[in-house]
Amino acid sequence: MARIVMKFGGTSVADIARIRNVARHVKREVDAGHEVAVVVSAMAGKTNELVAWVQDASKAEGANFNIYDAREYDAVVASGEQVTSGLLALTLQAMGIHARSWQGWQIPIRTDNAHGAARIQDIDGSFLIKRFGEGQVAVIAGFQGIGPDNRIATLGRGGSDTSAVAIAAAVKADRCDIYTDVDGVYTTDPRIEPKARRLAKISFEEMLEMASLGAKVLQVRSVELAMVHKVRTFVRSSFEDPDAPGMGDLLNPPGTLICDEDEIVEQQVVTGIAYAKDEAQISLRRVADRPGVAAGIFGPLAEANINVDMIVQNISEDGSRTDMTFTVPSSDLGKALAVLDRSRETIGFELVQHDTGMAKVSVIGIGMRSHAGVAATAFKALSEKGINIRAITTSEIKISILIDGAYTELAVRTLHSVYGLDKQ
Ligand code: ADP
Ligand code: ASP
Ligand code: MG
């Protein structure tokens, strides 16, 4: 007997027929004698619809961005998961399985107070372990918990992955299966590169980079938790026949295992390509070149909760003025410009230029630590396709390149092929 946490994403629970299919996956594990907890997302598209309603309802007159109360945002957007958890519990009951739905506050899944992007702080596993003891399948609403203010808090978009891994860690599950609409983690998003290949295994560190750099197959925080708590996490498909051979394999189910680096025998130099669209570039021209300027620019942006990403500063020619370029999500551009305008005097710059519709394309691989020339290969390949590079940032295991968003697909496919990722 094993203890398994199964998470099903939005497309997997998009309607009642799919929820029935999910229930068959659950039944397979229950019939095999395992203890099972299930985490569900809202039906596909539901959370987007709820977010749009919140924005519409809270649009401030005359403002070009929404100001909304994050606690009420959470009250609204957490509702999608309440529906699917109840529906799956009902479906399981109709199949003769002892199942019950639970909301985040009932477990409770305790979070911090950062409404809209809360972090899980504590889950007392004993509540669920008691349910296992009663032979119950607990169906838990993902994406939500309860904050110190005693209100529902949501975990940021894609947060049900994090709910699942956190629960798996709390109950010391043998496995956490993230069921989605693809059958594993691929070398790049299979939606934009059909030649992408499924990886049998990927290291925690690489998955962390892939997720942070745009591969939304797993929420970043879920990978962090899996890494810290050593949760054996698989990404696999809910669309495969639940009773096909091998689906119930305990140690090696079909899909991609996220694991420690040393479990991966054949290490490639480059493991994957990720991309993030909808980045905006902001350049401050002729900024005073003196200590405290960067703090003066990025401090107020951080206080306004704006996520600044790539930062490039030139060395000034004469030590008096320099240029500073950085990126923010396009949706935050208006807010960022307003913040910069307010601190213009204190920072001391002459001109702000901005551009939306940028994309960041990244090459990821732990093999880069010990291989030279990976970046040069990317630059050459992109230049041969006439793609202009606007900014570059690197770390030990990744290279990120900012380009015009119109070239995203071309850049991803070019990089995917130049590192041989489309070959077996
Ligand atoms: P869910 O609703 O199940 O949480 P998501 O839409 O959040 O599913 O994540 C699955 C999607 O992630 C896939 O449909 C795929 O398009 C996308 N994706 C992006 N990068 C990758 C990748 N490297 N491997 C697999 N899927 C990826
Ligand atoms: N339903 C939430 C979202 O769309 C959480 C999730 O799907 O993981 O972001
Ligand atoms: Mg997701």
Peptide bond into 194 cis (omega under 30): no
Q: Which residues line ligand 2 (CB under 6 A)?
A: 9-10, 41-42, 47, 80, 142-143, 157-161
Provide CATH code, domain 272-418: 3.30.2130.10
CA distances from 128 to 101, 107, 167, 177 (A): 12, 8, 9, 17
Strands 137-141 and 99-102: parallel
Considering every ligand atom shown, identify the ligand nearest to the alpha carbon of residue 214 and give its number.
1
Architecture of domain 3-261: 3-Layer(aba) Sandwich (3.40)
Global confidence as pTM? 0.94
- Count of Cβ atoms closer than 10 Å to residue 247 Cβ: 18
C-beta of 284 in contact with ligand 1 (< 6 A): no
Mark the ranges of the chain whose per-residue pLDDT is less than 50. none
> Ligand 1 atom 3: the closest Cα is on which residue?
9
Describe the crossing of helices 79-94 and 70-77 by its angle, rounded to 10 degrees: 20
Backbone dihedral angles phi then psi of residue 166, each to the nearest 5 degrees:
-65, -40
The secondary structure of residue 308, as a DSSP letter, is -
Q: What is the pLDDT of residue 63?
A: 66
pLDDT value at position 320? 87
pLDDT at position 64 is 60
Backbone angles phi, psi at 271, to 5 degrees: -100, -35
Type of residue found at 77:
V
pLDDT at 422: 92
Tens of pLDDT, residue by residue over 153-190, are 999 999 999 999 999 999 999 999 999 999 999 999 99
For the CA of 272, the nearest atom of ligand 1: 23
Can you give the pLDDT at residue 68?
Answer: 82
The residue extents of the domains of the chain are: 3-261, 272-418
pLDDT of 378: 97
CA 129 to ligand 2 center in whole angstroms: 25
Ligand 1 pocket test: pick from 21, 155, 189, 238 the residue with the most ligand atoms within 8 Å of its Cβ. 189
pLDDT tens digits for range 80-107: 999 999 999 999 999 999 999 999 999 9
Q: What is the predicted pLDDT for the residue at 172?
A: 98
262: number of Cβ within 10 Å: 8
Residue pair 115/74 in contact by the 8 Å Cβ criterion: yes
Q: Which ligand is nearest to the CA of 40?
A: 2
Beta strands 137-141 and 35-40 are parallel
